[in-house]
Chains A and B, each alone.
Chain A
């Protein structure tokens, strides 16, 4: 047989390294999921199958409150971030090049570049000042903070979709007497939907999962699911944590699958 070109799979030790990586990545998660069904109170000693920790989490008022709070924040943040992302994407792809466009890119992507802990501290100080000045201590701070760091995640798929769109369609609509707003409503938006949904879901998952910024920004009694779990870990660890994590994992996996399906371009 003729000699083949370089094939990484043939490299000695490659499959070993690959296997190790997979095991290290997924083994802990598999264990986490398995032990969420543990009948005993340990996260390390298997004592038989049971749904008890799912029931226990479901009945836990703290978990219920944290879940509702997480959902409110994630949904609001996803909505706000997606709206802002759509406007930003339109401004950066459907306009003539304008002065400062690069600066705008940098601004939009700020959350991806600045270390999260720095943003968290900055927000803590900034919001503290406002809290003192206004006396308001509600959820808005968390929603605003989450919206801000979700924008780049919502922005990326929307921008990709806009750039992939045929500009001549919008010109054709304008040619057929559609005002700029009608062009957006009747031609741009219907084609942008998959990108918008994808962006919103990505933003939702990112918000749902955040610990660092939430931990710094939240007021007393404003635990979200992740910060509640972090708090619990400092005390007794029961498989209840595993159960909550498994549910979060399921939500994320479903979102990612939906995201992949939506962002796949039709051919």
Chain B
């Protein structure tokens, strides 16, 4: 390959990168933040809520604690209220444009989630992955909803995929895609606490009667 051709290709590659970065604010801002800033928050253990005597009040407090996870960008990004997921800690629209499609995996014939997202996170390309990678169904849209609304939605079998409370607790505590929220790969802040703690909070909330925050 001649030097001129090599040089031209390098220039072109550089331009494509420049375009990609210019069209992808996440790369310039949130993702350019130092790794040290990606520190996950913590969760209070269930025992901390034992002093709340009123059952409903205790359930609400437990759910509000678990809500720190539900409302983290790791969960919210794939629970959009529209057709397009968001991304990064700043929850900007997913770049490139992808839509949920019939199965939450992208438009038919269009850009499928699996075009870029594979079985595991690939930090070299900053692309997250999981075998179950997909959008939550529209009935489970959380973006723009209050924690109280998310709570009512989560426990309604008509909106939660027909789950009983026991199945819901199991899902939160064990599901692999939920668990991705705590190991999201380079450049993404993990959900607060751990999946185990989160599962315990949800279970304690269910055991206390599963009351929801107001509003």
The judgment on whether A and B are partners is: no
Residues on A facing B (Cβ under 8 Å): none
